[in-house]
Amino acid sequence: MRTRSRVVAYLAHPLGPKNGEELRARQDNIADCLKWLELLVSSTKWVIECSWFAYVMALEDEAFRPRTLVDQSEQIHRCDIYIATSWLSPHIKLEIPKAKRAGLVILDLTWVGKHLPKELTEEQLRRLHSELESVDQVIALS
């Protein structure tokens, strides 16, 4: 049973490699993650947990990778919802079963596409709001 007054949702978003040919794609993914954060904050009353983003941006050294993964796991376990956006990276594919076992509601928003468009279509907006409301109902019943 939840003891918090507000729902906490973990935002998972793939970033990709830090160097090489994929660097430009990573920069686009970082921008998309920030757009998703803004969309979720403006569309829900949930607390959006995305502190992994600060870890990844501030702790570039690979030596911090194990600590980052341990902390991410702990952050996920303190949430009510696990939100997957963009596409399912290998890392996210590993996190989803762990989140399910921890009792989180999984919200897969990858249907929107790899990149969040500047404006969602009416159909996309209806589907998004419907899915957000469904999750709210599930959380309310738990």
Q: Does domain 8-141 have CATH number 3.90.1750?
A: no
User: What pLDDT does residue 2 have?
Assistant: 53
| Residues 51 and 13: beta-carbon distance below 8 Å | no
Angle CA(12)–CA(6)–CA(120) in degrees, nearest 5? Answer: 50
pTM score of the predicted model: 0.90
Task: Give mean pLDDT, residues 35-62.
Answer: 90
What is the amino acid identity at position 112?
Answer: V
Q: How far is it, in rounded angstroms, from Cα 12 to Cα 86?
A: 9
133: Cα within 13 Å, side-chain hemisphere? 6
Longest dimension (CA), the chain: 47
Residue 105 bridge partners (DSSP)? 81
Higher pLDDT, 5 or 44: 44
Residue 1, pLDDT above cutoff 80: no
Coil, strand or helix: which one is 84?
Answer: strand
Q: How far is it, in rounded angstroms, from Cα 82 to Cα 21?
A: 30
Q: Over the stretch 96-128, which tens digit does the pLDDT of each residue have?
A: 999 999 999 999 999 999 888 889 999 999 999
- Give the pLDDT band of residue 22 (cuts 50, 70, 90): confident
* Sheet strands (E) in the chain: 8-12, 47-49, 81-84, 105-108
Domain boundaries, the chain: 8-141
Q: How far is it, in rounded angstroms, from Cα 25 to Cα 27?
A: 5
